[in-house]
Structure 1
Amino acid sequence: MEDAAVRARHGIPTGVLRDADRSGRALRVSAHPDADRVVLSTWQGTSCVSTVRLDRAEVVELLAALGAALLPPPGPGGHQGTTP
């Protein structure tokens, strides 16, 4: 069983996403339920090069931003999609 202090410091791993263009670069997602946070960390090989700590509301905002990034760009006149 994992030590509670280690879990609090490193969190509970929930996912790893490999960079599509940079070899060895990855985004790791970890849960920190005791602190009510989710941590996104950028790794290059075995080195963590940055972290962002998000509270619950910010995770919802991140999901909305990711969803919006998947939408087609606005057409002429500023409307989403291709046909009204």
Structure 2
Amino acid sequence: MGEVIALPLAGAAALSDVRGQHRALQVTWHERDEVFVVSTWRFGRCVASVRLAPADAAALIGTLAEGLARRS
């Protein structure tokens, strides 16, 4: 298991969960490995993470954009 770094991490996007309860999502770019790490946090501790290749991150961005477009 890799090193666990508490929120907030410089250069990361930390997003609060609308449900509250100290839940958050953090997204970071890891240059050395060329992956995005999307991690789930609760009470300041990482409880899960997924490493995304750039192409998969682009697919995620596309899905988010499509959802936002439909919302309007």
The question of a shared fold, defined as TM-score above 0.5 by the shorter chain, is answered with yes
Counterpart residue number, 1:14: 12
- Does residue 15 of structure 2 align to residue 30 of structure 1? no
Structure 1 unaligned blocks of 5 or more:
1-7, 74-80
Counterpart residue number, 1:45: 43
- Does residue 47 of structure 2 align to residue 56 of structure 1? no
- Does residue 64 of structure 2 align to residue 66 of structure 1? yes
| Equivalent pair of 1:12/1:31 in contact (CA under 8 Å) | no
Structure 2 unaligned blocks of 5 or more:
none
Q: Which amino acid aligns with 1:62?
A: L
Report sequence identity in percent.
30
Q: Aligned partners of 1:17 and 1:46: how far apart in 2?
A: 12
Could you say what secondary structure the match of 2:28 adopts? strand
Q: Aligned partners of 2:16 and 2:67: how far apart in 1?
A: 18
Q: Aligned partners of 1:71 and 1:33: how far apart in 2?
A: 30
